[in-house]
Amino acid sequence: AAEGGDPSSPEGADQAGGKRGGVNREFLSYEDFIFFMLSEEDKANEVSVRYWFSCVDVDGDGRLNNMEMRSFYAVQLHRMQCMGHEIVPFEDMLCQMIDMIKPKNSDHFVVEDFLRPECAQVSGALFDALFNLNKYLQFEQRDPFMERQKREDEFETDWDRFACIDYNRLAMEEEAREEEAMEIDWVTVDDEDEDGEDFNSLGLGGASEAPF
């Protein structure tokens, strides 16, 4: 458990988000950043669900009501307008989430609604809609074939999948940089050889016969 509280509880999530030990901070420690990345890339596990739930539950009553969700979604609506995306009204988004998550009370969500096994793979969609526009739009435009491949791949969690894909991406970028550096080295060597040949052709380098 993280210092200052259990990260699986809303209180612990608040502390991991920047209020550890009762001291407000305006920055993330390395530990905070890792906690956030795990929560961002794998919204299907209980710790992540409780973390994001506590972020939206502004009044701390254990329920996500329309007013709370609408206030966060307003930022995403503004981003959709700025990026030229088709606007998805809050009511349409909320109706879609209610159909997928099927909360016990349609007037609000409680954390238990997201933790049911049948909701594990879709519960993060609501938090993406409120916090991560790119992921929400990917969810909206998802390919059924790719989704089936995702369910049948070797990874047990979204975090494992993210870590593998990102590691391979970084490895390819590093390999490309090394190849580029080798090409620059070869070009430098070729230039030096050409300069040497020009120098010798002028009779300014190496041994030369005496004119007499």
pLDDT in tens, 159-178: 666 667 777 888 888 888 88
pLDDT digit string, tens, across residues 18-70: 444 555 567 888 888 888 888 888 888 888 899 999 999 999 999 999 999 99
Residues 79-94: pLDDT tens digits? 999 989 889 999 999 9
For residue 25, CA distances in Å to 19, 58, 72, 155 come to: 6, 18, 22, 35
Q: Decide if 110 contacts 103 (C-beta within 8 A).
A: yes
User: Long-range contacts for 35-41 (Cβ within 8 Å, ≥24 apart)?
Assistant: 35/2, 35/7, 38/159, 40/132, 41/158, 41/159, 41/162
Answer yes or no: pTM beyond 0.75. no
